[in-house]
Structure 1
Amino acid sequence: MESRPTLYEFAGGGPAFVELARAHHARCLRDPELNHPFSHPDQHPQHVERLAAYWAEVMGGPPTYSAECGDHSGVLVMHSGNGDISDLGRRFVECFVLAADDAGLPGDLEFRAALRAYMEWAVAEVLSYPEPDTVSPGRPMPRWSWDGQVPNTSIS
């Protein structure tokens, strides 16, 4: 029986996630509501590359983000404490979904559904942390597959 590729492999590997992160970032900059958090002058100079490494790792790629940038707790702390931004979350998900087209990712419906499901889950998780001090340290990177979150890799 042939094994199914990871979402990372199916997308096209690291270069595909760099293109996805670039396209997503560009869409967020063009969005009148998302523009503000994405246009800060103090943004990390490798923001797009780090974002690509994070998403790639979550989707079954190499552990580049966790080896070079930190664990999932750091990502949650960085994005926590913003109050009720559920409308921004919805806009963020839509930009992500449209960016997959912009980046030329495969149009396979099951693949696209897995990407959307991941981002909806990720946004909901971020919104569940009202303040940075509510994030427990040492949280492992989440893993996502064709069937959703891979068990035992992230604390819910």
Structure 2
Amino acid sequence: MVEGTPTIFEWMGGAEALEKLTEDFYRRVLEDELLAPVFRRMTADHPKDVAVMLGEVFGGPKEYTDEHGGFARLLSKHRNRDIKPEQRERWVRLMLQAADAVGLPTDREFRSAFVAYLEWGSRGAMANSQRGAQPAMRESIKVWGWGEAPPVGE
């Protein structure tokens, strides 16, 4: 990354933007016939936990790793859930609708990086949710960057 290039976390508006995103997203999830059964038992703090995890993914504070159990906890939330392809696809679609609704940036560079993570992360979650899955163990959350499309002017 070029020195001075903001992280995706900074570009999207930080923790406040992620909390708005996850609040809107999980409201949509609980109204969705395909995903509501998967999430109906989530705790009241689940949207905030996911915002913290996404913050770390997008280059923000390592709070999820330091205070919430990191990658091991993330894996535990998906183990043996048997996520189906159509559920994964709906999850991505609702996340993108929530991103639009809460006003996340719409520039192509941000959206390219954001969608790439949603696709990559949701496919990993689906794979790791299958019974008998043997996910790779690592200590930390994957930090997602700009890839080949840094912000314009950088």
TM range (shorter): 0.7 to 0.9
The corresponding residue for 1:91 is: 90
Amino acid at match of 1:38: F
Q: Tell me the equivalent position of 1:36.
A: 37
How many angstroms does 1:99 deviate by? 0.8
- Write the distance in 1 (CA, Å) between the matches of 2:61 and 2:83: 33
Scaled by the length of structure 2, what TM-score is found? 0.86
The equivalent residue for 1:27 is 28
Structure 1 gap ranges (5+): 149-156
Say what the alpha-carbon RMSD is for the aligned residues.
1.9
TM-score of the superposed pair, with normalisation by structure 1:
0.85
| Equivalent residue letter for 1:127 | M
Assess if the C-alpha contact under 8 Å between 1:73 and 1:135 holds in 2. Answer: no
Residue 151 (structure 2) aligns with: none
Determine if contact 1:76/1:132 at 8 Å carries over to the other structure.
Answer: no
Q: Which runs of 5+ in 2 are unaligned?
A: 149-154
Matching residue of 2:124: 125
Q: CA deviation at 1:137?
A: 4.6
Cα distance in 2 between the residues matched to 1:97 and 1:55: 14
Contact 1:71–1:140 (8 Å) recurs in 2? yes
**Change over 3 Å in CA distance of 1:36–1:67 after alignment to 2:** same
The range that moved more, 80-89 or 10-19, is 80-89
After superposition, the C-alpha distances for 1:32-78 in whole angstroms (9 at most, x for unaligned) are 111112221xx233111111000011000001111111121221221
Please report how far the alpha carbon of residue 80 of structure 1 lies from its aligned counterpart in structure 2 after TM superposition. Answer: 2.3
Task: Tell me, yes or no, if the aligned pair for 1:80 and 1:127 is still in contact at 8 Å.
Answer: no
Q: Which whole-Å CA distance do the structure 1 matches of 2:83 and 2:13 have between them? A: 35
Q: Give the conservation status (yes or no) of the 8 Å contact 1:78–1:132.
A: no
CA distance in 2, matches of 1:94, 1:67: 30
Preserved CA contact (<8 Å) 2:127 2:133: no
Aligned residues: 146
Shift of 1:9: 0.2
Identical counterparts, % of pairs? 30
Larger RCO, structures 1/2 (Cα 8 Å, 6+ apart): 2
Question: 1:23–1:99: 8 Å Cα contact kept in structure 2?
Answer: yes
Task: Name the SS for the 1:128 alignment partner.
Answer: helix
Q: Which amino acid aligns with 1:109?
A: R
Provide the residue aligned with 2:144 in structure 1. 144
Shift of residue 92, structure 1, vs aligned partner: 0.2
Q: Is the Cα contact below 8 Å between 1:11 and 1:105 reproduced in 2? A: yes
- The letter for the 2-side match of 1:35 is A
